[in-house]
Structure 1
Amino acid sequence: MDETRQQHWKTLDRFLEIRSPWFTLLGEHLEDDRQQVIDYWRVEKTDSVVLLTLHDGQLLFPMLNYRPGLGEATLDFPGGRVSEGQTPETAVPKILEKELGLREDAIAHLTLLNPKGWAINSSFSNQKLYGFVVEIDPTISVNSDLVAATYPTTSEGIRSLLQDLTCLQCRAVLFEWQNQLS
């Protein structure tokens, strides 16, 4: 959006604010660049991290998580929220331990794929997604009871994974990783 147009949008008032540990729901009256008043709803959420986890030529996936919005459990890369006072980088070890039972010293190499973060839904939310590639030390044994699935990092393995991976955020991280490899 050009700066001139952006400068003409004004927040007139906030008529609703509901806070929860997961998000804040806001209702506002905005005046657009044509002086029309709009009832606008948006959600403020903390940023998220998705970890593409590699171990011995395999992509690792933690146990399936139930997604209430879909009404089913889905295959997802490890991920979670960036808590207050954390950076995306400092959130990684806690997520890795919670989802795959791996301590920080299991990380052989950590790569941030998108330093600015991607807007999840910029018209409705302020939340950003940060994608990381976490290479697990090949000498570390991963607890198979915490792993729901593995896929080889070959082109055939990625094609197979894309048949099963419905999470758009996970797919974005996977595609960004592939793009940076080429």
Structure 2
Amino acid sequence: MTEKKNWRTLDCFIQVNTPWLTLIGEKLEDDRQQILNYWRVEKADSVVIITIQNNQFILPNPSYRPGVQQVTLDFVGGRLDQGLSPKLAALKILSRELGISNVDIVSLNPLNQVGWSINSSFSNQKLYGFMAEISLNTIISRERVGKIYPTTSEGINQLLTDLTCLQCRAVLREWLTQG
């Protein structure tokens, strides 16, 4: 097997910075010396957290997703702020989305130590997955809970039917293989 050479960046012909992402247009030379105009997006990494309390998945309220122009059901999640570790980001996100504090969390376990690439041809974004077990004594406000599913095989199958987010599904599948 011959070793593939890395592509070379010849020029960055545009860079658009926004609070949500950076759009970059580049002129690249591929491993066959072809010159290509290529577009990519740089975004902050993501954290997705499976939250379980009393053998039930607790999901936050569905959110409107402009990319798919619909409201979707997702696990607790958000962006990884620059300079924050994935675990600290997960704690911050759990507080923001479910209103729970560190003392409410029995365990917070990473499902992957190295971030998974999301659409690696187009984006630099990585995904970090966690499983958080919430104390039985913790009361989560009903206004923050979108749906609850049992952690049984039937509940998991229904959850997989209802989840359209590929990142959420990947984190759930990883949790299932580690369980």
- CA–CA separation in structure 1 for the residues paired with 2:160 and 2:82: 33
Cα separation, 2, equivalents of 1:24 and 1:6: 26
Paired position in structure 2 for 1:43: 41
Structure 1 residue 97, shift from structure 2 partner:
1.1
In structure 2, what is the Cα distance between the partners aligned to 1:171 and 1:179?
Answer: 12
2:178 aligned counterpart, secondary structure: helix
Shift of 1:148: 0.7
Superposed CA offset, 1:139-159 (max 9, x none): 111112210100000001001
Letter of the structure 2 residue corresponding to residue 17 of structure 1: Q
CA distance in 1, matches of 2:160, 2:123: 27
Q: Which residue identity does 1:6 align to in structure 2?
A: K
Aligned match for 1:31, one of 29, 33, 41? 29
| Runs of 4+ residues deviating >2 angstroms | none
SS of the counterpart of 1:6? coil
Aligned-pair CA distance for 1:121: 0.6
Question: How many percent identity over aligned positions?
Answer: 55
In 2 relative to 1, CA 6–106 (structure 1 residues): closer, same or farther, beyond 3 Å? farther
Output the aligned Cα RMSD.
1.2
1:128 is displaced (CA, Å) by: 0.2
Q: Which residue of 2 aligns with 1:5?
A: 4
Deviation sequence 1:97-149 (CA, Å, 0-9, x none): 11111112111001100111110110000000000000001111111221010
User: Deviation string for 1:40-66 (max 9, x for gaps)?
Assistant: 000011100000000111000101100
Q: Which amino acid aligns with 2:96?
A: K
Q: Partners of 1:129 and 1:92 in 2: how far apart?
A: 12
- TM-score, scaled relative to structure 1: 0.95
Q: Which residue in 2 is equivalent to 1:176?
A: 174
Paired with 1:66 and 1:173, the residues of 2 have a C-alpha distance of 20
Any residues of structure 2 matched to 1:157-176 within 5 Å, and which?
157-176=155-174
- State yes or no: 1:21 paired with 2:33: no
What pairs up with 1:1-182 in 2 under 5 angstroms?
4-7=3-6, 9-181=7-179
CA distance in 2, matches of 1:64, 1:135: 21
Q: Distance in 1 between matches of 2:61 and 2:123?
A: 28
- The total of aligned residue pairs comes to 179
Report the secondary structure of 1:122's partner residue.
Answer: coil
For 1:97 and 1:70, how far apart are their aligned partners in 2? 26
**Residue identity matched to 2:79:** R
Structure 2 distance, partners of 1:90, 1:12, is 38
